[in-house]
Amino acid sequence: MEIPVIIAIGVAVFLGGAGGLMTPIGPWYHNLKKPSLQPPNWLFGPAWSIILGLAAWSAITAWYAADTRPEQARVICLFSTNAVCHFLWSPLFFRAQRPDWALVEVVFLWVSLVLLVTLLWPISPFASALVMPYLAWVTFAAWLNSAIVKLNRPFG
């Protein structure tokens, strides 16, 4: 297995594992008022596993489709930025118990995904398309986050 493949899979596994560890579903979370469209808790693990798997596939595809070093640097920068944004949301929402802060952070995560879809397209339309379910899920998650903030404020 080549280094870019190992790195992409490793980052996806790390983000999935870290997200799970940073997402305690305890009394604080259970006591939050949630919107009627809130999915069941068991759905989030499989959804994120699929989404992060598709993101890893996208990163690998884009890396190998990049024709130049600057394009490869763009792929690394885009996915690294997204990984940082992805990593920050769960600790803010669950560990800090600050859905309001997480709502601000999810904007950065969403923008990182829009940039991935947009800037990967010239390199590999397929890699760009693989990120679209992630963008759709984060769009929905941002709406959920917003609804939870509205239903439960103030925080902190």
Indicate if the pLDDT at residue 1 is higher than 90.
Answer: no
Asked if residue 110 belongs to a domain, the reply is: yes
Asked if residue 27 belongs to a domain, the reply is: no
pLDDT tens digits for range 69-128: 999 999 999 999 999 999 999 999 999 999 999 999 999 999 999 999 999 999 999 999
Q: Which residues contact 89 (CB under 8 A, 6 or more apart)?
A: 102, 105, 106, 109
Asked if residue 13 belongs to a domain, the reply is: yes
Q: How many CB atoms lie within 10 A of CB 78?
A: 23
CATH code of the domain covering residue 116: 1.20.1260
Asked if residue 84 belongs to a domain, the reply is: yes
Q: How confident is the model at residue 61 (pLDDT cuts 50, 70, 90)?
A: very high
Asked if residue 30 belongs to a domain, the reply is: no
The structural domain count of the chain equals 1
Query: Which pLDDT does position 98 carry in this prediction?
Result: 97
Question: What is the domain extent for residue 102?
Answer: 3-18+40-152
Query: Which pLDDT does position 16 carry in this prediction?
Result: 97
Asked if residue 28 belongs to a domain, the reply is: no
Q: Which residues contact 31 (CB under 8 A, 6 or more apart)?
A: none
Where b means 16+ CB within 10 Å and e means fewer, 125-141 reads: eebbebbeebbebbeeb
Asked if residue 129 belongs to a domain, the reply is: yes
Query: Which pLDDT does position 137 carry in this prediction?
Result: 98
Query: Which pLDDT does position 21 carry in this prediction?
Result: 94
Asked if residue 25 belongs to a domain, the reply is: no
Indicate if the pLDDT at residue 156 is higher than 80.
Answer: no
